[in-house]
Chain A
Amino acid sequence: MRAFLQTAAVLVCSTSVALAQQRTVQGVVTDTKGEAIPGATILVKGTTTGVTAGADGKFQLGLPDGASTLVVSSVGSKTQEVAIGSKTDFRITMDADAQSLNDVVVVGYGTARKSDLTGSVASVSNAQLTQVATADPVQALQGRVAGVDITANSGQPGAGTRIRVRGVGTINNSDPLYVVDGVQTGDINFLLPTDIESTEILKDASATAIYGSRGANGVVIITTKHGKAGKTQFNLFGYTGFQEIRRQLPLTNAQQYATLVSEAYTNDGVVVPADLTPLLNSALTGGATGTDYQKLVLQKGLITNYSLSASGGTEQNRYLISGNYFQQNGIIQQSGYRKYVVRLNDDATLTKFLKAGVSATFTNSNQTGGLDANGNTGYSTVLQNAIQANPISSPYNADGSYAYNNITSFTPNLARYLTEQQYNKTGNTTLFTSSYLDVALFKNLSFRSTFGINYNNFHPKVYLPQYYLGPNDRRTQSTLIETRNENISWVWSNYFNYNKTFADNSNLSFTLGQEAQRGYGSGISVTGYDVPLDASLQYISSARAANSTIRSSQYDGSLLSYFGRANYNFRDRYLVTGTLRFDQTSRFLGSNRTGVFPSVGAAWNISNENFLKDVAAVSQVKLRASWGRVGNQNAAPNYGYASTAVNNQNYVFGADQSRAPGLAIATLSNPALKWETAETGNIGVDAAFLDNKLTFTADYFQRTTKDMIALLPVPDYLGQAPASANVGTLRNRGLELALSYRNEIGKLGYNVGVNFTKINNVITDLGGANPIASGNTQIGFTTRTDVGREIAYFYGLQALGVFHTQDEAASYVSAGGTRIQPTAKAGDVKYQDTNGDGKIDATDNTYLGSATPSFTYGASLNLSYSNFDFKILLYGVQGVEALNAAAINLDKSSAIANIWTNFYADRMERWTPSNPNSNQPRMTSAATTNDALSSRFVENASYLRARNMELGYSLPRTVIDKFKINGFRVFASVDNVFTVTKYRGLDPEISSSGYYGNPLAYGVDYGNYPQPRTYRLGFNVQF
């Protein structure tokens, strides 16, 4: 795309002088290995005459009078000048240049040379995006860019990814804006990583303020692959492999489990309940290992991806067609994902001053096993249930039928529950199109109109068969929930770009435009009952019950905007950028409707000053500073200002007891709702040394989110769900560093990159509101969001180990001499009396850590030797805690809610009279405070993960020439090779998907579907 834009610039300007040609030269552009570089730009120095090399690297160029030198440039290569002389056939070899500051990057409503930017912008190339096996283009960015934190929602195939640019910006929606080929969208899941040419991440306000109300959480600009002029080039890419779980939790077997449960009763002199006795006894006497429920539900899952594209065309008309297939079976049985993507695009030069293009992406995906019983997505409970199920139960009776489990009867029989997951499917179809028209108005002024329209159809379907195993594990009536959601959004942008370069290398450019956006949609969900199990009858039309339930949802929102940007570059040294955007939204009323979002940025290219110009070791040094204000309209719900009535509040009246529908104002209203805004200041430096071999970028920023909109939790006695309100202020301060170095030692080429991000997140104001409690678990809320701390920190009692002896318990006294834990016995958990009031209660709750990391880092190493290449990508998160909510059950001292679920195997090391030095509480059947929410369940969740290791081999030129192909590479790759962590849960990479994306349940782990380890073999062939 960058090359395309360079070419475009060349072509626009070249038309007026095209008639002055005298003679024609030709040639081929290759890299140092002799492989063709397609798309390189060849320009006659001092003129605007030039061409683009074809896919085979070949070019032909008519030379104007006086032509003496060719300037050859290409993305990733150092620009070089070649004397023409009398030669007519050129073989031009380009040196690689991975981090050139002269690269053209895509910014909002235009492009810019990287050296001209005053804002903080990071780029990720296609090769980096396709290194890890995923269908998710966002996940592919993990570990690549400083300041961009990416966490998979879960290992559930197709579950999506959580991306945070420069920390969590709000207690509400912190998702960035995506811009795909100039069209704004909230989601890029319709793409596959292989479809993407390049990704730019705009981080500070100088870069994002042009997107105004949608820019507060950063902007991710995606440029998809487009056709290049030349002979038709085919590219076939594929891999296949399998995935497995990183680790199973070490849990008790049947005998260990029975030992612990029996001991709980005997410790208190209580008779074991009659229904438990025979089961426990048989496990104890038999020494049984029982059922390994994790093994029961896990599998090795196949993963496959194939992609074929054809691209080519003439300078007047370039095209690309591609088809893509991705399939993943998941590491839990009955979970899987398939994705089909077809892309088509065409760029045409219509007249001397008119250019146009269209592109369309059609995506169909199908996910299995990702819904809960109400049809909500991304919430698979199979593994959660598997780690809680008690091992003394067997999922099968002697005759092979499903068994009923009396002890943990609220955990469904997993063998049966698994088979039901196959009826749990989510289909998703998207058609994303964009088109543009470019008009060259005057020499320096152009006009561009872009129209993008996006259609999405989302259709989850859950079938819940009828069954009966026992009173607490049964479904009296089969149920089918079918949902169809249809969403349409369009964006129409119209803007002028003016660009004038002066003789002294100064440059003035401005952009002025207008934009309208609208998103609307509706959904219908039908629930039918008593639907037969037969697969061909699992449709609403075969429901045999008289009544069905129908729900609908609908929304319509729009945004009208005006924006402008001015850049002035004084002699390539001093750069100033100013942007201003006005947005009007339908989400707010009256005077709150309009938002004004300004930004200014300045930069100094020190390396272009005379005193540095001739220092050979210094290639580039640039200082940047910016300030701006951006909005986050996505924090506000569509009709957040109005109090709407919820229907279907059904009661019954009358002699015939007929249904009496009700309407309730179930949610509070807030007509004064207004924009949430973020003010960002940024200072940064970009530097390159040693002929661009060493590059360095550092940024320091402060982002303050004001009038933060949140669904402020309210007390239950309010009786209504909370309204959206502008309640608080949150500040993120951070430091981002990125360093890369590349060089060659003989045949060995290497490239090392590291990045580091440290963000300090603090709530500075909650508008006087009470602290917000969230992250509800079986023992209450786990997180608290309060002034002076980071968002959603863990809040509970501080455990101080256990009382090793009765004396120790008795001597734990307050200043006044009374026992602080008067009922505690030897083996009970000792808690800190934080407020010193001589007793332990909720007022002793204290800060226990949070899921906000101290810092995150990424590192990559690329090696090439002869035809071999090797890559490794590391990602790490340090200084982070997780609330291991699964461990609340697995580490329990007594039955929680009277249910004896399974235990961690190391509970065998509990306190007993014969093991008094243990720091694990005793077993008990009495009510104690041992399992209160405390630091026992908050764990260090720092980790270092090898995201990928890959070894590749490319066939040498001599061999591929023989087969008349342009390139052939094979590779072997392993994802999530290893993870270094002390965290005892399934995976330290925890998102909040278990809480339906609640940002205040950040780091609460209920037993998330973990990231799998993936082994695969693949190939890439061009012909």
Chain B
Amino acid sequence: MKTYSTARMLAFAALLGLAPGCKSFLDKDPLGTVTQVNLFNDATNAVQAVNAVYEVAGWDQGPKFGVGDFVTVHFEWMFGDILSDDAEKGSSPTDFGAVSEIKNWSVPTTNLIVASLWTHSFTGIARANTVINNIDAGSIDAALKSRLKGEALFLRAYFYFNLVKTFGGMPLFEQAVLPTEAGNVKRSTIAETYAFIEKDLKAAAALLPEKGAYASSDLGRATKGAANGYLARVIMYQLGTDNTNNHTWQEVYDLTNTVITSAQYSLYPNYAAIHQDIGENSSESVFEIQFAASNDSYGPISTGTANNVFQNNRATFGYGFNNPTQSLYNEFEANDPRREVTFIKNGDVVLGVANTVDPGFNATGYLSRKVAIGAPPAPQSASQNVRKLRYADILLMKAEAAAQLGRNSEAMALVNQVRARARVSTRPPGTTVGSTAYAPANVPAGTLPDITGLSGAALLNAIWHERRVEFGEESLRYWDLVRTGRYFSVLPADVAARARTHSITTGVVNPIPLLPIELQDTQTWGIAQNPGY
């Protein structure tokens, strides 16, 4: 029986052996990842949490939330240029019909471009909310904390602004939305949405440093100037659309003036170089989305963009979309060097290479030269930054405010600053084969003369003309047309008729055409759909 006892002892020892280690045996921390709890206790992690918000602003395509299903591409030009009289869809007639749907105002609720803009914007808002709501409890340095919070507030406003001008009043989220709240969420009005954006931008302006206060390695982050500039733009847009918040042009005047007097910005001397490598984050840059070439062609890991690849010549490395129109071509005054910087015609030499514009893949005979850069390593990994707010826009916004306030000479002086810079522009880089040099434009005397003696509607028209040619193919035209009440008149009759059925027309300064909210969130989650969809 002795052996039996031994065996029994062994067996019980085996049973008991694990008991003391129970707790540590079962306590497992997530491996290899930071959690929301400790994200803001480390300066590097906190900065990276904010980087991840910018990252969403740079998504023109990618998976849902950065982890889920693929959603298609969306670019600002698909709205700002395509919806206007400045651009046709381009490429072959059958290529990427979802863009045609937008161009024609016959957009089904299944259109993937609007779904992508919707999903990505809210992903950005959620990530901004992670920072805004958790950073105060973190143990990092107070100065860094306030800057990072300012950046997140700016970006939340940036995403909401993109949403409100495209889709109208939005559900407003100060906090992360709980899944239990989903489905009970209601859209706020357009005015409430704008008020929310303004509140964020004002808070951001108070927290953020000026551009010059950032280290050179932080170039590209949101600044006090960017927050004030965007606030001016947000107010100016309300003045022409839904001004329930009773804004005045004086506010636009004051805000743009604040940016100008901050002495952080100046017009970049050569207009032809603004969209080139050398013009990235230049003295003129108030805010731009940053990209760098990347081997990773897809998803959040990629640092590149397909933005300019989509718009480039099919004959080189592009897809040939977003073709500038004859109407825009004709808008330029004689010999304005900005026209050549904006357009590629058949046979033009671009960056030292002769370009053929194939009519089978082009709708107007033109392509945008502002996006012509060298071929990227992969289609989705181009490096060109997208300029979102230039100092020239600050000047022209102030000019428009001054004109509206009757300060005509001040308005004209501001426009003339922009015209003076245009006058001295060179030709775009690489206009002779094999060269990438900036050839002189040899503008004849009298080109782009200073405007003088204008007032009232004539002055406003001159400013709007200047905006159209200065910002040609920079995705601002559609919003300018809407807020100035000129939109439907530039559309073909059938398109205008359809656009009107999707517009808010009561209680507004000018009708506000709206695109549809994606099918899923209206069908399954009860978000109210826009008119006519």
Complex interface: chain A residues within 8 A of B383 (CB): 657
Measured CB to CB, the nearest residue on chain A to B15 is A514
Question: A719 is contacted by which of B14, B125, B297 (Cβ under 8 Å)?
Answer: B125
Q: What separation, in Å, do the CA atoms of A717 and B178 have in the docked complex?
A: 11
Contact in complex: A527, B108 (CB < 8 Å): no
Q: Which of chain A's residues have a CB closer than 8 A to the CB of B377?
A: 476-477, 529, 545
- B484 touches A (CB below 8 Å): no
Given known contacts A477-B295, A654-B217, A664-B52, A274 and B177 CB-to-CB distance under 8 angstroms: no
Does A780 sit at the interface, judged by CB under 8 A?
Answer: yes
Check: A807 CB closer than 8 A to any chain B CB: no
Q: Give the chain B neighbours of A898 by CB distance below 8 A.
A: 94-98, 100
Q: Is A722 an interface residue when CB atoms closer than 8 A count as contact?
A: yes
| A276 and B94 contact, Cβ closer than 8 Å, known pairs A471-B314, A649-B55, A771-B524 | yes
Which residues of A sit under 8 angstroms from B3, Cβ to Cβ? Answer: 353
Is B115 close to A, CB under 8 A?
Answer: yes
Q: How far is the CB of A172 from chain B (nearest CB, A)?
A: 16
A779 to B101 alpha-carbon distance, docked (Å): 15
Q: Tell me if B432 is interfacial: C-beta within 8 Å of chain A.
A: no
Q: Which residues of B contact A612 (CB under 8 A)?
A: none
Closest CB of chain A to B120's CB: distance in Å?
9
Q: Contact at B8–A441, with CB atoms within 8 Å?
A: yes
* Contact partners of A720 in chain B: CB under 8 A: 65, 123, 126, 176
Q: Give chain B residues whose Cβ lies under 8 Å from the Cβ of A285.
A: none
Name the interface residues of A713-732: CB closer than 8 Å to any CB of B. Answer: 713-723, 725
Residue with the highest number of chain A CB atoms closer than 10 Å, among B52, B106, B119, B383: B52
* CA of A842 to CA of B8, assembled, Å: 69
> What CA separation (Å) do A472 and B92 show in the bound complex?
12
> What 0/1 readout, one digit per residue, does chain A (622-656) give for beta carbons within 8 Å of chain B?
00000000000000001100111111111111111
The 8 A CB mask of A504-538 against B (1 = contact, 0 = none) is: 00000000001010100000000101000000000
> How far, in angstroms, from A900 to B94 measured CA to CA in the complex?
9
In the complex, are the beta carbons of A927 and B217 less than 8 A apart?
no
The one of A529, A548, A649 that contacts B51, using a Cβ cutoff of 8 Å? A649
Q: Which residue of chain A is the closest to B298 with respect to CB atoms? A: A374
The secondary structure that dominates the B interface is loop
Q: A545-B295, A556-B28, A717-B171 are in contact. Are A662 and B94 (CB under 8 A)?
A: no
Residues 978-994 of A contacting B (Cβ, < 8 Å): none
CB atoms of A652 and B303 under 8 A apart: yes
Stretch from A162-170, A198-206, A665-673, A745-753 contacting the other chain: A665-673
Please tell me if the beta carbons of B65 and A770 are within 8 angstroms of each other in the complex.
no
Q: Does any Cβ of A come within 8 Å of B249's Cβ?
A: no
Q: Is the CB of A716 within 8 A of B122?
A: yes
- Whether B51 lies near A662 (C-beta < 8 A) is yes
Shortest distance from the beta carbon of B434 to any chain A beta carbon, whole Å: 24
- Residue from A658, A664, A715 within 8 A of B292 (CB atoms): A658
- Given contacts A649-B55, A842-B523, are A644 and B177 in contact (CB under 8 A)? no
B314 and A717 contact, CB distance less than 8 A: no
Instruction: Give the residue among A652, A668, A842, A899 with the most B Cβ atoms within 10 A.
Output: A652
**Given the complex of chains A and B, what is the CA–CA distance between A721 and B179 in angstroms?**
10
Minimum CB–CB distance from A571 to chain B (whole Å) comes to 31
User: Roughly how many angstroms separate A662 CA and B47 CA in the complex, as a whole number?
Assistant: 8
**Chain B nearest Cβ from A448, distance in angstroms:** 9
Give the complex CA separation of A652 and B95 in angstroms: 31
With A716-B518, A780-B520 known to touch, is A586 a contact of B36 (CB < 8 Å)? no
Closest to A655 in B: B216
Chain A residues in 8 Å Cβ range of B174: none
Q: Are B182 and A715 in contact, with the CB atoms below 8 A?
A: yes
Q: Do A927 and B108 form a contact, CB below 8 Å, given A545-B295, A662-B55?
A: yes
Give the contact stretch, choosing among B19-27, B224-232, B257-265, B268-276: B19-27
Contact residues on A (Cβ < 8 Å of other chain), bracket: 35 or more
1/0 per residue, CB under 8 A from A, across B520-532: the answer is 1111111100000
B11 lies within 8 A of A494 (CB): yes
Chain A residue numbers with a CB within 8 Å of B26 are 558, 560, 584-586, 593
| Smallest Cβ-Cβ distance to B8: which chain A residue | A441
Q: Which B residues are CB-close (under 8 A) to A897?
A: 97-98
Give the shortest distance, in Å, between B402 (CB) and chain A (any CB). 34
Are A719 and B94 within 8 A (Cβ)? Answer: no
Q: Could you give, for residues 377-393 of chain B, a 1 whenever the CB lies within 8 Å of some chain A CB and a 0 otherwise?
A: 11100010000000000
A541 at the interface (CB under 8 A from B): no
Q: Which of A439, A516, A647 contacts B7 (CB 8 A)?
A: A439
Interchain CB contact (< 8 A) of A649 among B31, B52, B69, B106: B52
Given A442-B4, A547-B294, A554-B31, CB of A649 within 8 Å of CB of B94? no
Q: Judge whether A65 is part of the interface by a CB distance below 8 angstroms.
A: no
Contact present for B33 and A719 (CB under 8 Å): no
Confirm or deny: A660 has a beta carbon within 8 angstroms of a beta carbon on chain B.
yes
> Bound complex: CA of A813 vs CA of B54, how far in Å?
52
Considering only CB atoms, which chain B residue lies closest to A553 in the complex? B32
Q: Which residues of B contact A780 (CB under 8 A)?
A: 110, 519-520, 523
The answer to whether A275 and B93 have CB atoms under 8 Å apart is yes
The yes or no answer to A659 lying at the interface (CB within 8 A) is yes
One digit per residue, 1 when the CB lies within 8 angstroms of any chain A CB and 0 when it does not, for chain B 38-80 equals: 0100000100111111110010000011111100000000000
Residues of chain A lying within 8 A (CB to CB) of residue B108: 927
**Chain B: which residue is nearest A276 at the CB level?**
B94
Which of these, B33, B65, B171, contacts A645 with CB under 8 Å? B33
B122 near A717: Cβ-Cβ < 8 Å: yes
Nearest B residue to A669 via CB reads B36
Interface centre among A273, A441, A639, A721 (most CB of B within 10 A): A721
Residues from chain A with Cβ under 8 Å of B221 in the complex:
653
The proximity string for A residues 551-586 relative to B, scoring 1 for CB distances below 8 Å and 0 otherwise, is: 011111110100000000000000000000000111
Verify A716–B49 contact, CB threshold 8 A: no
A518, A646, A776 — most chain B CB neighbours (10 Å)? A646
Pairwise interchain contact B11-A645, C-beta atoms closer than 8 A: no
Interface residues of B in 286-319 (CB under 8 A from A): 290-292, 294-297, 300-303, 314, 318-319
- A781: which B residues are within 8 A, CB to CB? 520, 523-524
Contact B300 A476, beta carbon cutoff 8 Å: no
Report the Cα distance A779→B320, complex, angstroms: 27
Cβ of A972 within 8 Å of any chain B Cβ, yes or no, is no
B107's closest neighbor in chain A, by CB?
A927
Whether A649 and B300, one on each chain, are in contact in the complex, defined by CB atoms closer than 8 angstroms, is yes
Q: Which of A347-395 contact B (CB under 8 A)?
A: 353-354
Cβ distance B26 to chain A, nearest Cβ, rounded Å:
5
Chain A residues whose C-beta falls within 8 Å of the C-beta of B526 in the assembled complex = 770
A645-B39, A659-B303, A663-B45 are contacts. A651–B519 as well, Cβ < 8 Å? no
- Interface: A610 (CB within 8 A): no
Q: For A516, what are the chain B residues with a Cβ–Cβ distance below 8 Å? A: 18, 25
Q: Does A447 contact B (CB under 8 A)?
A: yes
- Max count, chain A CB within 10 A of own CB: residue among B33, B58, B67, B220: B33
Across the interface, A650 reaches (CB within 8 A) one of B64, B106, B124, B301, namely B301
B130 close to A (CB within 8 Å): yes
Which B residues lie within 8 Å of A715 (CB)?
A: 182-183, 185, 520-521, 524-525, 527
B84 interface residue (CB < 8 Å to A): no
Point out the residues of chain A lying under 8 angstroms from B66, CB to CB.
646, 649, 664, 666
Closest 9 CB pairs of A and B: A898-B97, A719-B126, A662-B52, A662-B51, A664-B52, A715-B525, A644-B33, A649-B52, A273-B93
19 more contacts with CB within 8 A, not counting A716-B521, A717-B118, A770-B183, are: A406-B92, A439-B10, A441-B7, A549-B301, A558-B28, A586-B26, A639-B33, A661-B48, A662-B50, A663-B51, A715-B527, A716-B122, A717-B177, A725-B179, A769-B183, A780-B519, A845-B523, A895-B97, A897-B98
A-B contact pairs, 6 of them (CB 8 A): A545-B377, A654-B220, A655-B217, A719-B124, A781-B523, A900-B94
Residue numbers of A with Cβ under 8 A of B are 273-276, 353-354, 406-407, 409, 439, 441-442, 447, 449, 471-472, 474, 476-477, 494, 496, 514, 516, 518, 527, 529, 545-549, 552-558, 560, 584-586, 593, 638-639, 642-669, 712-723, 725, 769-771, 773, 776, 779-781, 842, 845, 895, 897-900, 927
